[in-house]
Amino acid sequence: MDKIVIQGGTRLNGEIVIGGAKNSAIKLMAVCLLTDKPVFLKNMPRLRDTRSMSELLSHLGVSINLSGSDKMTLHAESLSSSTAPYELVRKMRASFNVLGPLLARSGFAKVSLPGGCAIGARPVDLHLKAMESFGAKIKLEEGYVIASAKAGLKGAEITFPFISVGATEHAMLTAVLAEGETVLNNAACEPEIVDLANCLNAMGAKVSGAGRPRISIIGVSSLKGVDYSVVPDRIEAGTYALAAATVGGTVKLSNICKDHLGALWPLIEQAGAKLTFDRTSVLIERNGTNLRAVDVDTQAYPGFPTDLQAQFMTMMCLAEGTSIIRENIFENRFMHCPELSRMGADIDVRGREAIVRGVKELKGAPVMATDLRASASLISAGMAAEGETHVGRVYHLDRGFENIEIKLRNCGANITRESE
């Protein structure tokens, strides 16, 4: 297995081009199941998660072609299976979202339950309730959800008891071909939801209100093919912005949507970095100023994203003062704390809160990546630390960051990938 080896202490200077959003791309890939025409996606990141989704879709009978560095054509002319097996679903939870599109297309789906994961239990009860509201019959058998809708799916009014990105997307993917109107109340508002709605609308769907808590969908009888470009990855952008602020230096991030990180920018500035925005880029500078402690509280969009909590914490480990970081979305997303502590950070976890007392310096150490975003936080810590850091279990990293070590090396980081 590979590990990332970092010699710390080098500032970051250069430019990083941000790719397409992983968390949008994998849902956009599922859209192909809703039409027998080709779906052409551009600005597609090449990641382990997009490969896992490709494997699952190929298993279902979708033909997939990659072209250039960032293009993918998916064609589900006919489906050869309506079963998503455990071996393929367990690799990536988001693949559970093929259930609704399979139901809409074939009236039947058998999809493995995804199970828990390192950051929390992550049940799918809201997804299943939504499917039932559309008239599907649901049975659970031997770890599989067996869903049928022989008489077709019917639009429904669904009020989510709390915000779920995945359940909102899943309900949208299912409702576009259901008969009549669907209304989703308390829907997630993330940019990835808007991206999905834009793609579906370009295929002839009638989705309105995406990006607001009430989404309305008028079902149509069929969808056409599409040529669509994936939205830039706000989490990749936020990760590099935080890395630059943590390590110090001057980094330009291009191909970003500034508005998608409205909750992050003021906090980076309060922490001591200077930001200069252009239409689709941002320059992050921290040369000489010390980092200052800032509190943060993760929330659904437009709040501070849970997917940047670990990276923000790394920055706070080196700030003057004490920062309180509260994780509201997942119950177990502080596993990077003991790893950061091994590098000399002073962090006290009390339930949903981490109390981070800034230290003068971090020291390189062997550490273990515990999930995708935590891996990035450890790389940032390694670049800011004195000495050598080894980050193990980097397969997490490869799920969601394309060419991370190349992008950082181009900015002067001393970082390599080695086989263990």
Instruction: Give least dist CB 124 to ligand EPZ, A.
Output: 5
Q: Which of 177, 329, 367, 369 binds ligand EPZ (CB under 6 A)?
A: 329
Q: What are phi and psi of 181, to 5 degrees?
A: -95, 140
Residues 6+ apart with CB under 8 A from 68: none
Interface with ligand EPZ, residue 193, by CB under 6 A:
no
Interface with ligand EPZ, residue 358, by CB under 6 A:
no
Q: Which of 63, 80, 87, 125 binds ligand EPZ (CB under 6 A)?
A: 125
Interface with ligand EPZ, residue 145, by CB under 6 A:
no
Q: Which of 164, 174, 182, 323 binds ligand EPZ (CB under 6 A)?
A: 164
Instruction: Give least dist CB 165 to ligand EPZ, A.
Output: 4
Candidate ranges 99-107, 118-126, 257-265, 410-418; the one touching ligand EPZ (CB under 6 A)? 118-126
Catalytic status, residue 189 = no
Answer whether 234's CB lies under 8 Å from 305's CB. yes
Helix crossing, 191-202 with 22-30: angle to 10°?
30
Residue 410 in 3-state DSSP?
A: coil
- Please work out the total of residues on this chain that contact ligand EPZ, with binding judged by CB under 6 A: 22
Is residue 86 within a helix (H) or strand (E), and if so which, with residue range?
helix 86-89
**Closest by alpha carbon to 32, among 84, 72, 81?**
72
Q: Which of 67, 120, 270, 276 binds ligand EPZ (CB under 6 A)?
A: 120
Answer whether 238's CB lies under 8 Å from 258's CB. no
Answer whether 411's CB lies under 8 Å from 13's CB. yes
Beta strand 215-218 pairing with 206-208? antiparallel
Interface with ligand EPZ, residue 262, by CB under 6 A:
no
Instruction: Give least dist CB 343 to ligand EPZ, A.
Output: 22
Interface with ligand EPZ, residue 352, by CB under 6 A:
no
Per-position x/- string for 15-54, each x denoting binding to ligand EPZ as judged by CB under 6 A, each - no binding: --------x--x----------------------------
Q: How far, in Å, CA of 135 to CA of 129, rounded?
A: 10
Instruction: Give least dist CB 97 to ligand EPZ, A.
Output: 8
| Span 370-399, contacts to ligand EPZ by CB under 6 A | 372-373
Q: Which of 124, 200, 247, 310 binds ligand EPZ (CB under 6 A)?
A: 124
Q: Could you write out the DSSP letters of every residue in 319-354? A: SBSEEEEE--S-TT--THHHHHHHTT-EEEEETTEE
Q: How far, in Å, CA of 109 to CA of 86, rounded?
A: 13
Instruction: Give least dist CB 358 to ligand EPZ, A.
Output: 25
Beta strand 137-141 pairing with 83-84? unpaired
Residue, CB closest to ligand EPZ: 166
Which residue among 117, 189, 257, 411 is the active-site one?
117
Q: Could you write out the DSSP letters of every residue in 370-399? A: -SHHHHHHHHHHHHHSBSEEEEE-THHHHH
- How many C-beta atoms surround the C-beta of residue 416 within 10 A? 12
| Span 213-252, contacts to ligand EPZ by CB under 6 A | none
Q: Which is nearer to ligand EPZ, 124 or 273 (CB)?
A: 124
For the chain, helix (H) and strand (E) counts, in that order, are 14, 24
* Integer CA distances (angstroms), 276 to 266, 281, 368, in order: 12, 8, 34
Q: Which of 122, 154, 274, 326 binds ligand EPZ (CB under 6 A)?
A: 122
Instruction: Give least dist CB 272 to ligand EPZ, A.
Output: 26
Query: Which residues of the chain form contacts with ligand EPZ (CB under 6 A)?
Result: 23, 26, 93-94, 120, 122-127, 164-167, 306-307, 329-330, 372-373, 400
> Which residues are catalytic, by number?
117
